[in-house]
Structure 1
């Protein structure tokens, strides 16, 4: 791929961030929503992984946790040679990886406990939802403005298996085995964060993670999230004994962002989507209300002792000629009729959630432009909306019936 390329007429590639491999990672610009994003493309040479890759993306998109990377979108495109490639769009994380941070030296015990506790919480949330990472390592952990983010959950194992398979079967092993692999990887990360002799308790926990019978991600998250110093026996491997924790093993929250409850966060997201999809056609009414009106004539007040003037027949006036610079309010009416179609389609499962949000954004942008700019190219914008409906139908983001209903409304607009 090359800089400047636009994917699905929306995501413009700006800068390549990796050195190649099974995935290309790009900093990109979302031209629809005006925000930076990360675009991760599966190498076209691994066309055999398209289906598995998409399944992993779908699993990751269903997760909601403050420490897990947010998935925005996914699709397929073709490279310069015409080869099909899959890609996923995620939030853009501006920071350094934990691997980069560790090149400058190990963390303190409190920092290691904080960072690894957050990673364990994210892994626990993913495992609870039936999603595994499969390639957890310091390079997959981002440190951004005091926050910790785990990236590539759900697709890490797919990419790793493709990178190391050498032509063998790339199907993932059983989920339970990969969950254990994630926990052992977490123990490796914890061990890498610590300097020798830093903390006997944390070193013992890392050893437990690497043992044949490791604790679960839930246990690790609970232990590392404790504010008080846990007994060293809690961290020790079964049957082993350890002395009291080192004096510098006091835990702090220096790197931990403010906790955000998972259920509340999910509820906020659902409420936001519901709000977008159920906004009534008030924007059309606002446009009509703000349209120029002919000034009304206010009759002068008549003194009480004045003699009434004789009644005369008012002169005939020609109908007002509409100003061609003012957009036809029929456009606003049509846009207002599009919203209920999108809302019903989403509620019935005939429109995918991301497509419903996309269409509502386009409708809102056109309504706003009609209000602020009387010279807006209505015909061109309506044609773009029609093309988007056709594209989304081809991508199976909405059913042909809903597409027909939307296009029938668009056909009523006189441009």
Structure 2
């Protein structure tokens, strides 16, 4: 692939980010929705790879969890030699791989718990849906503004296996190995991540848990659910966004190396029973701007100011005045949507990742209108309505809240 190439007349490749790995990874620009995305494609050709890759993408696209990378789209294209290549489009993770963070030194026990608890919960959700990672490691765990994201679930092992790497990738296709064994592969990998985070020679509960994970086999050893239980906090409040302490090393510009959304889903029922003695620490760092809007206290609806007034309105021709009046009406309606989304998040009627997703769509359209860009408002509103319908069907927001949002969208006249 080459920089500047446009896939399906929508995704423009901007910069290649990988360094000769199993997948070719690009930072790209979604020209339809005006947002950065990641485009990934296998770095090698393989007879059955297209079918297996697409199957893995389809499975990954059905997952929804705060710590799992979101899949947006997939298709096929031809490389420079004319060979057909499958690719997947995911959210762009503008963060730091855990592998890079660990080069600065080991983590504390509380930092290790905070990161690995989210990874375990992500694996729990994936395994419950019949999806395994099979290529989990520090390079696939991204630290994005204090949140944890697991990249390439469902596809990383397929690509690595096709490239001929031993071990992990070969278990990625459920048709070739028992489901229990593929889940055990992920558990062993999580144990290795826990060990990698701790200082050498560490003993205690975390080291013991890592050793148990390392010995996991099909039908023996802890499951992702059990690990998530052990690392979970009893006092975790609903919709909490826990974050990880970053190193005090000089700040660097980190970009996605190994490339969904989303903040935490509704909190699972609080688990009781045995807990690790050292797992009761809460660690906090700054949260992303979007998440801060939703979770900062007090949680009050955010009022979006109307677009700045434009000079010489009275002097504009009648069609221009009509267009501007319509745009103002659209902006006013969009400004009424945001407090509803914020209120719905506070009341638990909307999942946090859905709230951020809708806020992003609303903000992008508001910005385009304020910048006086040529915007197909009808199409953008249709896309927003379709997203609301989809999220309602996925139970990401309540029927009452979806109806309230759609009633406001129905008042928009363009």
Instruction: Name the TM-score class by shorter chain.
Output: 0.5 to 0.7
Deviates more, 1:191-200 or 1:211-220: 191-200
Once structures 1 and 2 are overlaid, which stretch shifts more, 206-215 or 28-37? 206-215
2:147 matches 1:153:
no
Per the alignment, do residues 257 and 188 of structure 1 end up closer, same or farther by CA in structure 2, a change over 3 Å counting? farther
**1:178-226 deviations in Å (ceiling 9; x for gaps):** 1011011101100110113545011111111112432111111111112
The corresponding residue for 1:226 is 233
Aligned-partner Cα distance in 2 for 1:256–1:58: 34
- How far the C-alpha of 1:10 sits from its partner, in A, is 0.7
> 2-side partners of 1:257 and 1:53: how far apart?
34
CA RMSD, Structure 1 to Structure 2 (Å): 3.8
Partner of 1:175: 179
Q: Secondary structure at the match of 1:55?
A: helix
Contact 2:191/2:211 (<8 A) preserved: yes
Contact 1:44/1:84 (CA < 8 Å) preserved in 2?
no
**CA–CA separation in structure 1 for the residues paired with 2:283 and 2:68:** 19
What SS does the corresponding residue of 2:15 show, helix, strand or coil?
strand
Contact 1:59-1:154 within 8 A present in 2 as well: yes
**Pick from 196, 209, 216: which aligns with 2:200?**
196
Aligned partner of 1:253 among 283, 292, 296: 283
- The counterpart of 1:214, out of the listed 217, 221, 233, is 221
| Residues 169 and 221 of structure 1: CA distance in aligned 2, closer, same or farther (over 3 Å) | closer
| 1:109 and 2:116 matched | no
Q: Are the aligned partners of 1:71 and 1:89 in contact in 2 as well (CA < 8 Å)?
A: yes
Give yes or no for the alignment of 1:31 onto 2:31.
yes
Deviation, structure 1 residue 89 = 0.2
Q: Which residue of 1 aligns with 2:92?
A: 92
For residue 205 of structure 1, the aligned residue among 199, 203, 209 is 209
What secondary structure, in the 3-state scheme, does the structure 1 residue paired with 2:88 have? Answer: strand
**Which stretches in structure 2 are left out of the alignment for 5+ residues?**
236-270, 289-316, 324-360, 377-414
Partners of 1:136 and 1:37 in 2: CA distance: 22
Query: C-alpha offsets along residues 53-101 of structure 1, whole Å, 9 cap, x if unaligned?
Result: 0000000000000100000000000112211100000000111100101
Distance apart, 1:45 and its partner CA: 2.1
- Structure 1 alignment gaps of length 5 or more: 236-244, 259-290, 294-325, 328-360, 379-415
The separation in 2 between residues aligned to 1:153 and 1:257, in whole angstroms, is 24
What is the CA-CA distance between 1:156 and the residue it aligns to?
1.5
Alignment of 1:2-401 (within 5 A): 2-43=2-43, 45-164=45-164, 171=173, 172-196=176-200, 198=202, 200-212=204-216, 213-227=220-234, 251-254=281-284
Q: Deviation per CA, 1:268-310, whole angstroms, max 9, x where unpaired?
A: xxxxxxxxxxxxxxxxxxxxxxx959xxxxxxxxxxxxxxxxx
Pair 169,67 (structure 1): closer, same or farther in 2 beyond 3 Å: closer
Asked if the contact 1:117/1:224 (under 8 Å) is kept, the reply is yes
TM-score of the pair, normalised by structure 1: 0.56
In terms of Rg, which structure is larger? 1
2:234–2:272: 8 Å Cα contact kept in structure 1?
no
TM-score, reference length from structure 2: 0.56
| Corresponding residue SS for 1:2 | coil
Residues 47 and 85 in structure 1, CA contact (< 8 A), matched pair in contact too: no
**Deviating runs (4+, > 3 A) in structure 1?**
168-172, 196-199, 230-235, 255-258
- Give the drift of 1:34: 0.7
